[in-house]
Amino acid sequence: MALLQIAEPGQSAAPHQHKLAAGIDLGTTNSLVATVRSGEARTLQNAAGDDMLPSVVQYLADKVIVGKAAVAAAIADPHNSIFSVKRLMGRGYAETVAQAQQLPYLLVDQQGLVAIDTAQGVKNPVEISAEILATLADTASQTLGGELMGVVITVPAYFDDAQRQATKDAAKLAGLNVLRLLNEPTAAALAYGLDSGQEGVVAVYDLGGGTFDISILRLKRGVFEVLATGGDSALGGDDFDHAIVQWLQQQSGETTLSHQSLRQHLQLARQIKEQLSAHDQYAFELPTANGALALSLSREQFDSLIQPLVRKTIRACKQTLRDAGLNADEVAKVVMVGGSTRVPLVRTAVGEFFAAEPLTSIDPDKVVAIGAAIQANVLVGNKSDADTLLLDVIPLSLGLETMGGLVEKIIPRNTIIPVARAQEFTTFKDGQTAMSLHVLQGERELVDHCRSLAKFNLTDIPPMAAGGAHIRVTFQVDADGLLSVTAQEKSSGVTASIQVKPSYGLSDDQVATMIQSSMQYAKHDMQQRLLREQQVEASRVWEAVSAAISADAHLLGSAELLDIEQALSALKAVSQGDDTAAIKAAIDKTNHITDEFAARRMDNSIRQALQGHKVDEV
Amino acid sequence: MNYFQLFQVPAQFDLDLTELGTRYLELQRNFHPDNFAAGSERDRLLAVQQAANINDAYHSLKQPLLRAEHLLALRGVKISHEQRSFTDTSFLMQQMELRELLGDILHSSDPYVLIDEAEQQIQQQKNVLLKLLAQALEANHHEQDLQAADIIRKLKFFFKLQHELELIEQQLQD
């Protein structure tokens, strides 16, 4: 039967079936999930009727609580209630301790990475984020009535490789298939762009709880091109709250606060901030050790407290415009993203700088999730006629350590991704068979001023005289902004093996171990999950090759076609069983048999994509 | 890989950039990994490589210096392996004068006058050299190709100076 199905063009397993996909805005303060239903993108509500899930996870000895209930418990249980975990993603222990005096957690050094000691033992940011992602995915599958085929998760455009990788690892741990990591500002532009079909240069000003991003995009004929991105990964609305807390402390004269009263102060600060977005003056009571203190703050006073922070964001806007090679008056639209853009001073300052009325018609808290949902719907294959093309850039330069602690840039920031750049190295000793490379990310010239990404050890270099071996190392950044490295000795063609030691990330083995040891997956569940993953990949391969045959069978000889069809029917048969290893073997065999076909199709379609130009030119 | 062939544009220095941009977007529309996000792992990897190639090719043809280098590489002349040293003393003198000018900017009482002056000089020299480069490359003859390689090496100095000037200007604004 399988052979019959293959021979009939267009008869794939489930034509036009709507696949379940969601967009997830994994935020510092709040997270949201959205999906496209009946052509409209909307955020989804959990059982309690909330769109926004506070990004807070509380670890109790016997269970994990995510969201509102965890926020409520935070004052009584500050050590086990983790806020703003996004700020810790891909971060080292030492740098976090140096920056985060205000964090009320017991920070732990987990092989150089930061982790938190909780009532359930040591939890790292990847595990904590996975809890938030799993909660959102539950909301989605319960509302939509089925398992999600894939998700798009948004990240700040400024996130470096380690932070992106950590986000992807968290999704993996939560059992989600990531279709793409999408930059938050790009998602926001998608949400607005598809609604209104804008053309021209757009700035996306995204001031969230913990991060600030400014992106300059060009929209043209359905193409979103990110011209430049900038920002500050440690600046956000939380800092407004801290500025208010400092003012409160000046009023009360309390120089130090306990964890508990810091939490109280922060909650009050948030309330004051929200009130002053709508009113000119706000009166409130501040609980102190010596009783309650009646206070009042005016909008003007509040503005002067946050003025330095807002000015910092405008400076970043200037720098990013410079990177894009544009002046402020060339920006046609400004999209406002993030709850902190409700603050009137922010809107005025941004409007004045760009000399344009900021766009606020989509809820600034939801706009990113909505854009992610739109993209997830396209990527999962529900909208085959979609003609948007998303061209993104790498936010920070990638470089290599050279002599004297200097960094040589290999891929400059704002290069369109995916990108691959090769660099040649040679051995400096006779018979040298190994060398090591240190990859960094950042704009500065000194190694110490950039972020260490990973150390790569090349081994198995064929022994030759000094300078005889030419090793070509290729750095590839994929569409998610993630780096991979391959190396080859040129004269012998020998592929050198690479061992990667991420500086602030988990190795593949560590992620696998985390998945295995996570309480959600008993041994049987684990096997089921691996089987399911292989079955899904088998069906992807089957669908892809079947579609390829329907479209391009003329590129195959009859013997080749027969081989491929046999491999496909074997794949289909074995993937219905429960032998994970056999399915994997059948996938590998099908891939191997169709490698040449895939290459031919690629060449052929490049020719076809540009066909007709010769005629146009006449 | 022949980038001109990839975009099906004529293999020459004088290129219609609008047309190049259109071809680039057409190719990316077909090969961007977003088209394969729900595809098999092999297809996803192939798409990343292909899209990276297309980006690299576009990057190389868009900028005049890289385009000229690629054109010369296709004709068998490699800039990086060029061992000839500069004998053009007037060029070297000019470079030294411009460097001195750049060095004076930050100490000057009216730096923007010096910036404008440096910018004008660099721009003018660049335009002259770019014109010579176009002529040399158009000849499509080995002797002229070697001349073109020389001009590219000189141009690189000017592009570097221009970059430094931009950094100085930023420093002043901050």
Rounded to two decimals, the ipTM of the complex is 0.80
Which tokens go with A420? 């691959």
Beta-carbon separation of A610 and B27 below 8 A: yes
- Whether A613 contacts chain B with CB within 8 A: yes
- Kindly report the CA angle at A51 between A371 and A141, in degrees rounded to 5? 80
Closest CB to B41 among A180, A537, A610: A537
Binned at pLDDT 50, 70 and 90, residue A615 comes out as very low
* Mean pLDDT on A314-332: 91
Beta-carbon separation of B32 and A416 below 8 A: no
Q: How many C-beta atoms surround the C-beta of residue A526 within 10 A?
A: 15
Is the predicted pLDDT of residue A99 greater than 90, yes or no? no
Q: How far does Cα A225 stand from its chain's mean position?
A: 18
Residue with tokens 């069809």, as numbered in its chain: A565
Closest CA to A493 of A477, A525, A515, A471: A471
Helix (H/G/I), strand (E/B), else coil: A36: strand
The alpha-carbon gap from A110 to the nearest alpha carbon of chain B, in Å, equals: 32
**B77-125 pLDDT per residue, tens:** 887 644 556 677 888 888 889 989 888 888 888 888 888 999 999 999 9
Which tokens go with A369? 């999730």
Binned at pLDDT 50, 70 and 90, residue A13 comes out as very low
- Note the pLDDT of residue A240: 95
Please provide residue A214's backbone torsions phi and psi, each rounded to the nearest 5 degrees.
Answer: -125, 130
- Whether A378 contacts chain B with CB within 8 A: yes
CA distance A594 to A568: 10
User: Of A285-294, A295-304, A347-356, A401-410, where does mean pLDDT reach its minimum?
Assistant: A401-410
**A455-470 pLDDT per residue, tens:** 888 888 888 888 888 8
Please name the residue of chain B whose CA is at the shortest distance from the CA of residue A393.
Answer: B55
Contacts of B51 in chain A (CB under 8 A): 418, 479
- Note the pLDDT of residue A518: 65
**A76-92 pLDDT per residue, tens:** 888 899 988 998 999 88
Closest CB to B40 among A221, A540, A605: A540
CA distance A377 to A527: 29
User: Of A113-127, A138-152, A200-214, B62-76, where does mean pLDDT reach its minimum?
Assistant: A200-214
Is the predicted pLDDT of residue A407 greater than 90, yes or no? no
* Mean pLDDT on A547-561: 90
CA distance A163 to A137: 21
* Mean pLDDT on A243-253: 93
* Mean pLDDT on B126-135: 94
* Mean pLDDT on A355-382: 93
Please, which residues bridge with residue A123 across strands?
A116
By the 10 Å C-beta count (0-12 exposed, 13-18 middle, 19+ buried), A171 is classed as: buried
The alpha-carbon gap from B34 to the nearest alpha carbon of chain A, in Å, equals: 6
Is the predicted pLDDT of residue A375 greater than 90, yes or no? yes
**A435-488 pLDDT per residue, tens:** 888 989 988 878 888 888 888 888 888 888 888 888 888 889 999 988 888 888
DSSP A578-606: S-HHHHHHHHHHHHHHHHHHHHHHHHHHH
- Note the pLDDT of residue A2: 32
* Mean pLDDT on A582-600: 91
CA distance A588 to A95: 43
Beta-carbon separation of A19 and B38 below 8 A: yes
| HSE-up (13 A, CA, CB side) for residue A535 | 13
CA distance A318 to A273: 26
- Whether A605 contacts chain B with CB within 8 A: yes
Closest CA to A184 of A366, A357, A383, A353: A366
**A206-239 pLDDT per residue, tens:** 998 878 889 998 877 666 777 888 888 778 888 9
Q: Which of A602, A605, A616 to mutate to test the interface with B (most CBs of B within 10 A)?
A: A602
- Note the pLDDT of residue A617: 42
Closest CA to A65 of A135, A153, A166: A135
Strand-strand pairing, A30-37 and A40-43: antiparallel
Binned at pLDDT 50, 70 and 90, residue A413 comes out as confident
Is the predicted pLDDT of residue A286 greater than 80, yes or no? yes
**A104-128 pLDDT per residue, tens:** 788 999 988 899 999 999 999 999 9
Helix (H/G/I), strand (E/B), else coil: A486: strand
User: Of A334-343, A408-417, A521-530, where does mean pLDDT reach its minimum?
Assistant: A521-530
Long-range contacts of A448-453 (CB under 8 A, 24+ apart): A448/A405, A450/A399, A450/A407, A451/A160, A451/A162, A451/A396, A451/A503, A451/A504, A452/A503, A452/A504, A453/A160, A453/A161, A453/A162, A453/A398, A453/A483, A453/A502, A453/A503, A453/A504
* Mean pLDDT on B39-61: 91
* Residue B52 and residue B117 in contact, taking contact as beta carbons nearer than 8 Å: no
- Note the pLDDT of residue A4: 34
- Average pLDDT over chain B reads 88
- Note the pLDDT of residue A133: 98
Q: Which of B20, B28, B29, B42 to mutate to test the interface with A (most CBs of A within 10 A)?
A: B42
Report pTM: 0.80
- Whether A423 contacts chain B with CB within 8 A: no
CA distance B80 to B134: 20
* Residue A537 and residue B40 in contact, taking contact as beta carbons nearer than 8 Å: yes
Is the predicted pLDDT of residue A521 greater than 60, yes or no? no
Closest CB to A537 among B31, B40, B170: B40
Contacts of B38 in chain A (CB under 8 A): 19, 149-150, 179, 379-381, 540
Closest CB to A610 among B26, B32, B59: B26
Closest CB to B27 among A419, A544, A609: A609
CA distance A307 to A312: 9
CA distance A151 to A22: 5
Closest CA to A71 of A31, A102, A122, A121: A31
Q: Which residue has the higher pLDDT, A566 or A436?
A: A566
Rg from Cα positions in chain A: 26
- Average pLDDT over chain A reads 86
Q: Which residue has the higher pLDDT, A157 or A171?
A: A171
Which residues of A are catalytically annotated?
25, 86, 184, 206
- Note the pLDDT of residue A387: 67
